[in-house]
Structure 1
Amino acid sequence: MQLNLLKSKIHRAEVTDLSLHYEGSLAVDRDFMTMVGLREYEKILVGNMANGERFETYAIAAPAGSKTISLNGATAHLGKRGDLLTIMSFAAFEAAEAETWQPKVLLLGEGNTKIIKRPVAA
């Protein structure tokens, strides 16, 4: 049996840009992606803490160190600059592996500058 568990999460990521005419996706600072093991083009679930919107898309890498979180394409209608997002990815695990699995979590502070990397609390 396989279980779908949280693989990685970037919490309180502040939207820095919107690009309605881009083909789609969510651009995320490459450093943030690396910290949580999120791959480019990986499917993500995004929750907007400001308006309750939840949507699926895929991650693309923004320049490392840019602190960029950009809603692209149709997702640009689901938020605005300054909104806080929770960005999640999931993976399938065998039951035995799931017993000890801990997702990688990145908690961001104001302006995506304060970075706290931690495992999810039990």
Structure 2
Amino acid sequence: MLIQVVKSKIHRVRVTQAELNYVGSITIDEALMEASDLVEGERVQVVNINNGERLETYVIKGDRGTGTICLNGPAARKVAVGDMIIVIGYGYMTPDEARSFKPSLVFPNELTNLIV
């Protein structure tokens, strides 16, 4: 049996853009993606701290070192620029693997979204 566990998390990152007229997804600064072990195209859950919204989408790589966090397409309706969000990636593993697995957790600077 496999269970789903937290694999990656970017905790309390500020939304810098919301682009309604886009196919869909969340654009994340490449440095944040690497630090949190997220890959382009990976399915993620986005939790909006400001309004309680939760949504699922996939990751697109943003420019490195910019702090970009942009919700695209329909997800843009679920956030406002400046909202604080949590981005969570999950992985499947056996219960035995999960007991010793350590997720990649990132706590960026809340003003710049850059890794401290």
Report the TM range for the smaller structure's normalisation: over 0.9
Matching residue's letter, 1:21: N
Higher strand share: 1
Q: Work out the CA distance in 1 between the residues paired with 2:103 and 2:7.
A: 5
1:110, 1:4 → 2: CA distance?
28
Task: Report the counterpart of residue 52 of structure 2 in structure 1.
Answer: 52
What is the correspondence of 1:56-67 to structure 2 with a 5 Å cutoff?
Answer: 56-67=56-67
1:68-121 Cα offsets, whole Å, 9 max, x none, are 0001001110011110000001001112211111110001222234535xxxxx
Q: SS at the partner of 1:111?
A: coil
Q: CA RMSD in A?
A: 1.1
User: What is the TM-score normalised by the length of structure 2?
Assistant: 0.95
TM superposition shift of 1:23: 0.6
- Which residue number corresponds to residue 19 of structure 2? 19
Aligned mates of 1:86, 1:19 — CA distance in 2: 18
Q: Distance in 2 between matches of 1:86 and 1:64?
A: 19
Count residues in correspondence. Answer: 116
Deviations 1:6-43 (A, max 9, x none): 00000111000111101100000010000111000100
Query: Relative to 1, partners in 2 of residues 1:42 and 1:114: Cα closer, same or farther, differing over 3 Å?
Result: closer
**Structure 1: gaps spanning 5 or more residues:** 117-122
Map 1:1-122; keep pairs closer than 5 Å: 1-113=1-113, 115-116=115-116
Take 2:113 and 2:51, find their aligned partners in 1: how far apart are those partners? 23
TM-score by length of 1: 0.90
Cα distance in 2 for partners of 1:31, 1:115 equals: 8
Unmatched 5+ residue regions in structure 2?
Answer: none
Q: Percent identity?
A: 36
